[in-house]
Structure formats: structure tokens, C-alpha cells
């Protein structure tokens, strides 16, 4: 599978709110540098799984809408918006944030990531 297809499959899956699915996509040595509205975070394999678990406690559904995706060898740039449905109101879709991410793929897994986000 191409690096671009791996990234597309990741964002179309429930990985962001299901740590069991997330495990399928993460390289054991994954590292994500994230510049968020709350500051800089550096997340590894375990912290990404914990984040997915935390999101699953608040949201019943997660959907990513990719607006741009560009591939160059094993490096993929993706711009997307993340929508969720809360446990309290599962019928209303809410925009969580806008993201720009660059992923390096290694052994068909997400290996090295750089991400920026902006709240909606």
C-alpha cells in the first residue's frame, strides 16, 4: 500500500477515538510533534494511544474531512478538519479543529509526524 493510501486509511478509520484501531497504524517508535492551541506537545506510541482513549470517552463519533493531501515518496502532507459527535448530543456534528500534518511512513506505519492545529 502506498504511503498516501496509508494516511488516507488512517484518517478515514476510527483510530482517533479507538486505540485498538490506532495500534494498527502506529509504528512502535512513532513520534508526533504537535503545535496546538495549548502549546507544544511531543507524543509517542503510548501517549497517542492514551489520547485516543481520552477522545473516546467524550465522543461517540469522529470524522475527518481531508481538503488537501500531497505525497512525496514516504512523506505525506495532509490538511483536514476534524468533526465529532459528543456523548451528550450524538445527533449534532461539531467541528473540533483544523489540522495540518506531515507524516513519514516507515514499515507501512505512521513513524514521524509534525502537526499544527487551530480550534474552530
| pLDDT reading at 67 higher than 90 | yes
Q: C-alpha dihedral over 39, 49, 54, 89, to 10 degrees?
A: 110
Q: For the segment 27-65, what is each residue's pLDDT rounded down to a tens digit?
A: 999 999 999 988 999 999 999 999 999 999 999 999 999
Which pLDDT belongs to residue 116? 98
Mean pLDDT (the chain, rounded): 96
Distance between CA atoms of residues 20 and 42, nearest Å: 21
Contact in structure between 99 and 80 (CB atoms under 8 Å): yes
Contact in structure between 110 and 89 (CB atoms under 8 Å): no
Amino acid at each position: 500500500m502506498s504511503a498516501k493510501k496509508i494516511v488516507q486509511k488512517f484518517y478515514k478509520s476510527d483510530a482517533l477515538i479507538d486505540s485498538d484501531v490506532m495500534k494498527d497504524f502506529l509504528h512502535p517508535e512513532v513520534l508526533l510533534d504537535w503545535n496546538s492551541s495549548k502549546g507544544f506537545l511531543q507524543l509517542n506510541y503510548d501517549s497517542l494511544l492514551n489520547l485516543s482513549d481520552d477522545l473516546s470517552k467524550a465522543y461517540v463519533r469522529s470524522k475527518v474531512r481531508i481538503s488537501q493531501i500531497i505525497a512525496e515518496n514516504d512523506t505525506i502532507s495532509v490538511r483536514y478538519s476534524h468533526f465529532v459527535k459528543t456523548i451528550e448530543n450524538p445527533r449534532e456534528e461539531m467541528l473540533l479543529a483544523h489540522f495540518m500534518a506531515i507524516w513519514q511512513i516507515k514499515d507501512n506505519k505512521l513513524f514521524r509526524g509534525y502537526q499544527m492545529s487551530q480550534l474552530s
